[in-house]
Amino acid sequence: MIHLKKTALLLLLCLFACGGADEEEPTEQPTTPIVIEYGTVSGTVTHGGTENPIPGAVATLLEHSMETGIDGVYTFQGIPYAENYTLVVEDVDYQPYQQSFALGQERLVLNVKLLPLRAPAEELQEFLDAFSDLLESLAIENLEQIQALFSETYVAADDEATLFGVLSGIIPENYDDVLPAMTQLFEEYVTLEFLFKYVQADVTHARKASVVLSLDVTAEKGEQRDLREIKARCQFDFRREQSDWKIVHWQLFEIDIRL
């Protein structure tokens, strides 16, 4: 009987031992590190019509914004690779723009063409028409409106033809000279026809442009109503300041005065 008990006890010990040997302790599985890759998103923002660069446009990506430089370029660095991004480009003088894209490369170039809210060439023609009407009015009360058409940085060219026009009282030499020159013009002449013809606009972008045109001036001076006829070929350079176009430069290429 004792022998059987010893045998059973040995059998149980063997079973427990064998069972323990079959159970393996769990081992930790190696984890694959997550690698995040980053890229650069950049491009040039240009005027849709002329394809000239637009400075000062605001590009936004991932809640980060930057202004384009004088070359129209924007650059966002350190952007994680992902499928869904939206680039937004805004400018007060252009229609808003946005583009969806995926980033999965070291460098992605997204060039942007903006469409202007207004037609600059048409605006400049309206500007010249208004300028002509104010000059022909010969009304002293309109002098400040005329001065408002010039930028405070305005200056006339310094070539021979333009200097002759300045000395003749046709165009002001600089911004400070606008009121004195126009006042003298209004006081000396009793009739004045100031006609801009053959206008050719060269639009850089919605805030910068120039026009080349023919200027015909017919005027009667003093009580004797002496007739003066002036024909000139000239160029105006314009810049949009706030929402208004301003004259920043005036140059005469040639001038013919007939007394």
Condensed to tens digits (0 to 9), the pLDDT of residues 70-85 reads: 999 999 999 999 999 9
How would you classify the pairing of strands 244-258 and 112-114?
unpaired
C-beta separation of 223 from 241 below 8 A:
no
pLDDT attached to residue 31: 64
Residues of the chain with pLDDT under 50: 1-16, 20-21
C-beta separation of 195 from 215 below 8 A:
yes
HEC string of 164-194 equals HHHHCCCCCCEHHHHHHHHHHHHHHEEEEEE
Residue 35 has a CB neighbour count (10 Å cut-off) of 6
C-beta separation of 232 from 214 below 8 A:
yes
Question: What are the backbone dihedrals phi and psi of residue 54, each rounded to the nearest 5 degrees, phi first?
Answer: -110, 110
Query: pLDDT tens-digit profile of 86-110?
Result: 999 999 999 999 999 999 999 999 9
Q: What three-state secondary structure class fits 143?
A: helix
CA dist., res. 112 & res. 59, Å (int): 10
pLDDT attached to residue 21: 47
